[in-house]
Structure 1
Amino acid sequence: MTHFFDREQDRAYTRVYTQRTPDIQKAFGAFNAAVFAEDGREIPLKYRELIALAVGITTQCAYCIDAHTASAVRAGASEGELAEAAWVATAIRAGGGYAHGRLAFKLADEHRHDG
């Protein structure tokens, strides 16, 4: 999917949101600005950006990874912190596979008993 990623050219397509759903675009922009406000939050910005980076890695969104890596670095994140955020995302994805594997075993038992 990342071969579709073009940081500069892709921004031009924001115009579709702005032209077709300006109210939602404005609300989303305000929401995002509030979530990532530099001050006035319980969790310091650097940690919110590291959380966002981990979520971006988990969802495999190249745009989120790019934007939140840059924002985390600007907020003072070290290379080690970026690495740990990536490992947290990796652990969560692996844990999801582990947990869903258990669900498959449970469903297999149900299917065995159903028929």
Structure 2
Amino acid sequence: MSDHYLDPSDKKYVATYKQHTPDVLKAFNDFNSAVFAEEGREIPLKYRELIAVAVAITTQCVYCIDGHTNNAIKAGATEAEIAEAAWVASALKAGGAYAHGRLAFKLGADHQH
């Protein structure tokens, strides 16, 4: 099978959104542009992009990891800052597993004899 993620030609499929839901696509693009505007936000763009890198790593979206890592670099992020963002994502994922493990114990307690 030749299907894979992060194929640059995948962008051509945006045409489907444009054809069927152009109003929603425009609203999403406007929203995304506002969130990542260079000016007018309290959190500097570099930090918003580093947050996006960490979230993208957590959600494991290869497209977002690619795009926001490059945007973070353009906004002045260093390799060390990207590494720390990746560790933040790792800590949150691990913490979530830890916390949900406790939930498993709680839910499993009802079935203990």
Fold conserved between structures, TM > 0.5:
yes
TM-score, scaled to structure 1: 0.93
Deviation for aligned residue 1:110:
2.2
Residue of structure 2 in register with 1:15 after alignment? 15
TM-score, scaled to structure 2: 0.94
Deviation for aligned residue 1:5:
2.0
| CA deviation map 1:16-69 (0-9, x unaligned) | 111110000000000000000000001000000000000000000000000000
Matched residue SS, 1:4: coil
Matched residue SS, 1:10: helix
Instruction: Give the 5 Å matches for 1:81-96.
Output: 81-96=81-96
Consecutive unaligned residues of structure 1, counting only runs of 5 or more, are: none
Look up the equivalent residue of 1:33 and give its one-letter code: S
For residues 103 and 91 of structure 1, the distance between their equivalents in structure 2, rounded to whole angstroms, comes to: 18
Deviation for aligned residue 1:4:
2.4
Question: Percent identity, aligned pairs only?
Answer: 67
RMSD: 1.3
**What is the count of residue pairs matched by the alignment?**
111
Whether 1:3 and 2:4 are equivalent positions in the alignment is yes
Contact 2:5 2:62 in 1 (8 A): no
For residues 79 and 15 of structure 1, the distance between their equivalents in structure 2, rounded to whole angstroms, comes to: 34
For residues 111 and 21 of structure 1, the distance between their equivalents in structure 2, rounded to whole angstroms, comes to: 48
Consecutive unaligned residues of structure 2, counting only runs of 5 or more, are: none
Residue of structure 1 in register with 2:106 after alignment? 106
Instruction: Give the 5 Å matches for 1:29-40.
Output: 29-40=29-40
Whether 1:77 and 2:65 are equivalent positions in the alignment is no
For residues 30 and 41 of structure 1, the distance between their equivalents in structure 2, rounded to whole angstroms, comes to: 15
Q: Write 1 or 2 for the structure with the bigger share of helix.
A: 1
